[in-house]
């Protein structure tokens, strides 16, 4: 199984592209954001800890993050997929090393890192108009007036959309600041390893998908 790390600031479109690749190329997809939200929803002690961190706009610490996703990594390999997309990890240079160690124990390694590049203005606009279904966690963009759809296209629930606390303006500014300080250097590390592919993620999602798919299919040959 080939492992692909998806990099980029919040709102860069990593989740959108991962969903497309998973449905069209049959890749396994691990979204640490989704895992953390599921942990929060469970109401566990770990979930309560994660909730406080996430809602403050900070990044979840390394130990807590890998505690949430280790079992999912194991199950992803056992599923027998030809590729695995990691969306949300590693988020700092320390996590690059931890991920390498975790993958090595599974006889895996990072085969490529794809960096979704988007300007700060576009990121802020995207995040401020992003809505999450409270029933199924589907994420959509609001209309031109910034309003959410009246019903969820994924689960059919009505009036179920709400803006996540970490998508509120103050939290967005903090998240982007944390990204620049802690996560952006990860791209440089993978570039030094010869594994980085930079993509213009401000284009139409289908255009971005073609570039993402090209990177993945080339590695699978």
Contact, 30 vs 84, CB < 8 A? yes
Distance of CA 12 to the CA centre of its chain: 9
DSSP 56: T
Contacts of 112 (CB under 8 A, 6+ apart): 2, 4, 5, 195, 196, 197, 215, 216, 219
Neighbour count for residue 104 (Cβ, 10 Å): 10
Sheet holding 161-162, edge to edge: 139-141, 130-133, 161-162
> Can you tell me the distance from the alpha carbon of 23 to that of 29, in angstroms, rounded to the nearest whole number?
10
Active site residues: 14, 91, 130, 164, 175
User: CA-CA distance, 21 to 1, in Å (whole number)?
Assistant: 15
DSSP-derived secondary structure for 64-121: HHHHHHHHHHHHHHHTT-SEEEEES---SHHHHHHHHHHHHHTT--EEEEEEEE--HH
């Amino acid at each position: 199984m080939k492992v692909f790390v998806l990099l980029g600031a919040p709102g860069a479109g990593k989740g959108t592209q991962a969903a497309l690749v998973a449905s069209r190329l049959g890749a396994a997809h691990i979204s640490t954001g989704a895992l953390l939200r599921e942990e929060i929803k469970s109401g566990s002690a770990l979930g309560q800890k994660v909730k406080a961190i996430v809602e403050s706009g900070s990044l979840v610490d390394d130990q807590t993050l890998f505690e949430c996703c280790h079992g999912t990594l194991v199950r992803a390999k056992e599923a027998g997929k030809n590729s695995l997309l990691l969306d949300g990890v590693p988020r700092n240079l320390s996590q690059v090393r931890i991920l390498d160690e975790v993958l090595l124990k599974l006889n895996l390694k990072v085969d490529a890192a794809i960096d979704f590049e988007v300007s700060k203005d576009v990121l802020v606009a995207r995040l401020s108009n992003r809505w999450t279904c409270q029933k199924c966690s589907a994420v959509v963009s609001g209309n031109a007036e910034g309003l959410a759809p009246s019903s969820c296209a994924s689960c059919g629930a009505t009036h179920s959309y709400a803006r996540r606390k970490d998508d509120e303006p103050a939290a967005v500014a903090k998240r982007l600041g944390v990204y620049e300080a802690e996560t952006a250097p990860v791209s440089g590390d993978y570039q030094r390893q010869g594994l980085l592919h930079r993509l213009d993620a401000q284009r139409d999602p289908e255009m971005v998908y073609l570039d993402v798919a090209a990177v993945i299919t080339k590695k699978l040959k």
